[in-house]
Amino acid sequence: MGKGRLEAFSDGVIAIIITIMVLELKVPHETSLESLLPLLPVFLSYVLSFVYVGIYWNNHHHMLHACGQVSGAVLWANLHLLFWLSLMPFATGWMGENHFALMPSALYGVVLLMAAIAYWILQQTIIASAGPGSLLQSAIGSDWKGKLSPVLYVIGIVSSFWVPWMAQAVYVSVALLWLVPDRRIENALRRDRV
């Protein structure tokens, strides 16, 4: 079974998720510059979520590139990932409209955590279906980002109950971790280990 349609369907769902998040930016009824101010936290949440969904699309793109065949298990692991990503607009809207309050910030972290776990499951399913010595297995290497991110999300969720702004700082840091070009960091780490 070809992977073309799996890519097309995932692209469609991710494109819709990334775009409907902007609908949370409700058009204000006034025309002053000040009327945009209350929208600032919603806008910042939108930027953060846009970057996160962009990272997922980017990584999904690479992962499927290294995927040979698509089994039924891969199809469902992929839908499972799309399910958690589809909750991003809700989590983003709740966090943005409530100015990064405690519980919405924690929920945002939970959605990020579940998406990361779903991504990991999809990765393992593809590797398992490809058999030992697969292309993806060697491509991801030690996968230290994939292993570190869920730990950081949990720290973010827990810390949101003590230091509210800590959660945001953690979520932004994880996004930057993925945004910074891979190779330079990995090379640096490799050198550290030698």
The residues that touch its own copies, with contacts defined as CB under 8 A, are 1, 5, 7-9, 11-20, 22-25, 27-29, 31-33, 36, 47, 50, 54, 57-58, 61-62, 65, 72-73, 75-76, 79, 82-83, 86-87, 89-90, 93-94, 97-98, 101-104, 107, 179, 181-182
- How many whole angstroms separate alpha carbon 86 and alpha carbon 53? 10
Work out how close the CB of 12 gets to its own copies at its nearest, in angstroms, rounded to a whole number. 3
Q: What is the DSSP string of 41-94?
A: HHHHHHHHHHHHHHHHHHHHHHHHHT-----HHHHHHHHHHHHHHHTHHHHHHH
Work out how close the CB of 125 gets to its own copies at its nearest, in angstroms, rounded to a whole number. 13
Helix/strand/coil for 160:
coil
Work out how close the CB of 40 gets to its own copies at its nearest, in angstroms, rounded to a whole number. 13
Residue type, 39: L
Work out how close the CB of 7 gets to its own copies at its nearest, in angstroms, rounded to a whole number. 6
What are 76's two structure tokens? 């469902």
CB-side neighbour CA atoms (13 Å) of 140: 23
Nearest in space to 17 (alpha carbons), one of 56, 43, 64, 63: 56
DSSP character for 23?
A: G
Work out how close the CB of 163 gets to its own copies at its nearest, in angstroms, rounded to a whole number. 17
DSSP character for 28?
A: P
- Comparing CB distances to its own copies, the nearer of 32 and 194 is 32
- Comparing CB distances to its own copies, the nearer of 184 and 193 is 184
- Comparing CB distances to its own copies, the nearer of 143 and 182 is 182
- Comparing CB distances to its own copies, the nearer of 151 and 179 is 179
- Comparing CB distances to its own copies, the nearer of 95 and 152 is 95
